[in-house]
Amino acid sequence: MRLSMDCKATVNIGDYSRGGKTRGDNRAADHDMGCEEKHTPFGVVNEDSGSLHLSFGSSSKTSDFTIDSLYAWWERQAPEECAHVTHIQIKADNGPESNGRRTQFLKRMVEFADHIGKSIRLLYYPPHHSKYNPVERCWGILEKHWNGAKLTDAQTMLEWAKSMTWKGV
C-alpha cells in the first residue's frame, strides 16, 4: 500500500476573513490576535486507490499528532483490505513533525508498525519538492473550496471539509 501523508499549517477558528471571499455576513476581524481555537488538519492519501482521509486535531503539528492520526486512519480501513497489505510505503515531506531523524517520530512509527503488524518503508520528498505530494495538492483544493469562508467553529470547518471532492469523490 502506497500512502502520502502531510499536516497542514494550523487553521485559526473564529471570525476571520482568511484572505478570501466570505459567504453571507462579510464582517470579520482584521487580525487574528487572541485566537483561542486552532485546528491542525492531517491528511493521508492512498495512492493505490486514490482515497483521501482527513482528520483535524486541536494539538500542534507534532510527531505524536502525526502518528495518532495514522492510527485513526488505520482503524477506519476495512479489515479485509488490511489483511491483504504486506507492507506500507509512506511518503512524507521531512518536516519537523515527520523527520526521519526525530527520535519521537521514529519511536512512535515503530510502535505503529508493531501495532498493525506490517512493515513500513518511509520515503521523503526532496526539499522544495513537496508539490508532488498529493496531500499538498489536497490542501490547495481545500483552501480554494473554503474560499476564505469564516470558519467560526470546528463543526463549520469539518462540514466544509466533508463537502470537498477529491478525484471526483
Secondary structure class of 8 (helix, strand, coil) = coil
15 or 123, higher pLDDT: 123
Q: Over range 112-124, report the average pLDDT.
A: 94
Domain spanning 2-162, CATH class = alpha beta
Question: Per-domain residue ranges for the chain?
Answer: 2-162
62 or 162, higher pLDDT: 62
Secondary structure class of 41 (helix, strand, coil) = strand
Percentage of the chain surpassing pLDDT 70? Answer: 71
In the chain, which residue ranges form alpha helices assigned H by DSSP?
Answer: 63-75, 79-84, 103-116, 134-146, 154-162
55-102 confidence digits (pLDDT tens): 887 777 788 988 999 999 999 999 998 999 999 999 888 777 777 777
Q: For residue 40, what are the β-bridge partners?
A: 57
28-61 confidence digits (pLDDT tens): 455 555 556 677 888 888 888 888 888 887 777 7
Q: How far, in Å, CA of 39 to CA of 41, rounded?
A: 6
